[in-house]
Amino acid sequence: MSITDDKRSIESAREPEALLPLFEAYLAYLSDQRRAAALTLESYGSDLWRLQHLLEGREPALIGPHDVRRFVARLHGEGLGGRSIGRVLSAWRGFYRWLVRHHGLPTNPVAHVRPPRSLQRLPQVLSQEQSKALLDAQADEPLDVRDRAMFELFYSSGLRVAELAGLDVGAGLDLVEGLVTVTGKRGKTRIVPVGGIATECLGKWISQRPAYLRGPDEPALFVTRTGTRLSPSAIRSRLASWAVRSGLGIHVYPHMLRHSFATHMLQESGDLRAVQELLGHASIRSTQVYTHLDFQHLAKVYDSAHPRARKSG
């Protein structure tokens, strides 16, 4: 099928949520062929709708690099930061790469367009003391056994929320060996150790899980009180509530536990490559941000411990 076969008028997308057929086809490709996570598809859909809006009725295949740079200038003028624009460009770049490979587009107009520079934001992390306070919070409700198992596994193994939500019973979780196998971004599978406390909590939840199932065919490891798979958004909500109960006084979200896992592992081991493998990062550059956090930790230790760290006077 050629690009001309897929051309449609913008009139087919009168509703703001409706995407052009080419965009819909690309999202279907990401879902079916690349096995992209639901959150990734939602994010890409938003970025493609932004492109559709900027096209102002023109066909996606008929723009060039100068158009893309003008779009970037508009987004920047609307207050979008460099990191956010970079994410948008990544979605657009993938879309046009797909057009080149599968629909005969001669060149990718986004290939050499870069976002404006912005200051690098370091990820938010919990201290080791805060992590302990969070995970040791009082558990009184019936489903607290499930929640504690989820959060211990988050922090123990550095999983993404979509990876945790997608876990099934009897597939990927080995409590005897203390290992969990997950499928991450771009369908990449990795095996991650599970700590002893997390293993114990998971065993308790698995023994109670059948009481919540509608039937024996539900494969999800973590289920709701009505027996269906717990969604990523529900997991975020439960973690936020758990953090309030712990008395930390800060908002805690799943990726913060992943960041905390990586930072504490690096502080204790100093092995950046091992942390990269555990996180499932394709590039070491994605993992290097934790070296900055580790340096901050070391600097604080130095300032508090070295006899010549403080200025005289």
Residues annotated as part of the active site = 160, 185, 255, 258, 281, 290
CA distance 176 to 40: 33
- Helix orientation angle between 21-32 and 38-55, rounded to the nearest 10 degrees: 160
Distance CA 148, CA 206 (A): 12
> Which helix (H) or strand (E) is 301 found in, with range?
helix 289-305
Measured distance CA(233)–CA(244) in Å, rounded:
17
Torsion angles phi and psi, residue 180, rounded to 5: -135, 135
Reference 197, options 238, 155, 230; nearest CA is 155
Burial class (CB in 10 A: 0-12, 13-18, 19+), 218: middle
Burial of 72 (0-12, 13-18, 19+ CB in 10 A): buried
Contact call for residues 267 and 260 (beta carbons, < 8 A): no
**Residue 210 dihedral angles phi and psi, to the nearest 5°:** -55, -25
* 99 three-class SS: helix
Q: How many CB atoms lie within 10 A of CB 230?
A: 21
Cβ atoms of 278 and 192 closer than 8 Å? yes
